[in-house]
Amino acid sequence: MKTMVVKIGSSTIARPGAGVRRPFLADLARQAAELRDMGWGLVVVSSGAIACGAPALGFEQRPTDMPSLQACASVGQCELSAAYDEEFRRRGLITSLVLLTRSDTASRSSYLHARDALRRLIELGVVPVVNENDTVAVDEIRFGDNDTLAALVSCLVGADLCVTLSDIDGLYTANPSEDPAARFIPEVDRIDAKILAAGGDSSSSVGTGGMITKLRASRILMTAGIPSVIASGEAPDALVSLARGEAVGTRFLPAREPADITPRKLWIALGDAVHGALTIDAGAAHALVEGGSSLLPVGITAVEGSFRAGDVLDVHDESGFTIARGIAEADSDELELARGRRQEELAGNHLLRALSERPAIHRDNMIVFA
């Protein structure tokens, strides 16, 4: 059996002031049944809890204070789960609810437990409906990044395809609602700074994600060797068509020879929040991307944030583009003092001597993005 992960945005699953879009959900259940008959298992990463809870609590617009957002998420998750259960049962499918926060994947052991639970549900023919636990995950409510969650789930279950159903039919060279000259991009084989620059903000009144979060998630999936698609939630039979190999939306193609990425490196890429960043020079960037090297202090030009050894960091090139993510081997204060210094220079400094014998980020604890 193949596995498809589909991420559904708030503006696709709900309408302002109206709650769950039952016709859309009914059609999703129909497609899920067809996918089952075609030999595909389905995992749904569903936004929309706050959008569904707000009208139920009498809010005419999405509230802005955190307690109200949490209350809407709590009520809306019940309404959303009930709707999924009713529509999918009509098609002979059982759904389950899986609520995750970053703390559930920040440790490697809990990451693996989440993986095992999801894979077992798929084996049993269940359609897991996954969402962030917005009632308690304050940061996730603030940033609304279910696109990263979909990438995480895709890696956890070893998905064959990850599909994002949104309010736009794919990626354009610019925002098509603002630039009439914007051109549709049907395929992407590498996400660079130019592609990221084409990602605009969300125009939805019920969601908080944007194209940029979708592109970042797709970049991680490309690195992991998992193809992904961004398509319109209104496209007829989008999931079934994609399972047949037909062209829908913008497809992001993984590298022809995907990197050998261990589950540990996927956890580094997706499982924990980033605590800081290191900017490196051109020589160090080349050594990481082309040479498979560890990151030495001599290549670091700037240290951003306050972090401890063991925290996850982004690695930026000279233009500010994120080229890698890894686990710090030293605290931020220590790396600030050590940056730009060669190993022999560090060895002669009693305060920094320990860093002469280890890198700033070891290659085994770093993922370099495609």
- Least confident interval from 31-35, 100-104, 192-196: 100-104
Q: Whole-model pTM?
A: 0.84
- The residues near 24 (Cβ < 8 Å, ≥ 6 apart) are 12, 13, 233
Tens-digit pLDDT profile for residues 251-269: 999 876 655 667 678 778 8
Tens-digit pLDDT profile for residues 282-338: 999 999 988 889 999 999 999 999 999 999 999 999 999 999 999 999 999 999 999
- Annotated binding site, which residues? 7, 47, 134, 146, 166-167, 208-214
What does the pLDDT average to over 91-104? 88
- Annotated binding site for substrate, which residues? 47, 134, 146
Q: Is 277 exposed, middle or buried (0-12, 13-18, 19+ CB in 10 A)?
A: middle
As a three-state string, the secondary structure of the chain is CEEEEEEECHHHHEECCCEECHHHHHHHHHHHHHHHHCCEEEEEEECCHHHHHHHHCCCCCCCCCHHHHHHHHHHHHHHHHHHHHHHHHCCCCCEEEEEECHHHCCCHHHHHHHHHHHHHHHHCCCEEEEEECCCCCHHHHHHCCHHHHHHHHHHHHCCCEEEEEECCCCEECCCCCCCCCCCEECEECCCCHHHHHCCCCCCCCCCCCCHHHHHHHHHHHHHHCCCEEEEECCCCCHHHHHHCCCCCCEEECCCCCCCCCCHHHHHHHHCCCCCEEEEECHHHHHHHHCCCCCECHHHEEEEECCCCCCCEEEEECCCCCEEEEEECCCCHHHHHHHCCCCHHHHHCCCCCHHHHCCCCECHHHEEECC
pLDDT band, residue 205 (cuts 50/70/90) = very low
Query: What does the alpha-carbon distance between residue 292 and residue 315 come to, in Å, rounded to a whole number?
Result: 14
Domains by residue range for the chain, with CATH: 2-252 (3.40.1160.10), 274-368 (2.30.130.10)
| Beta carbons of 326 and 364 less than 8 angstroms apart | no
The structure tokens 């395809």 sit at: 161
- Annotated binding site for ATP, which residues? 7, 166-167, 208-214
Query: What does the alpha-carbon distance between residue 276 and residue 79 come to, in Å, rounded to a whole number?
Result: 38
* Percent above pLDDT 70 for the chain: 89
Tell me which residue of 146, 174, 142 sits closest to 64, measured CA to CA. Answer: 142
Tens-digit pLDDT profile for residues 31-87: 999 999 999 999 999 988 888 898 889 898 888 888 898 899 899 999 999 999 999
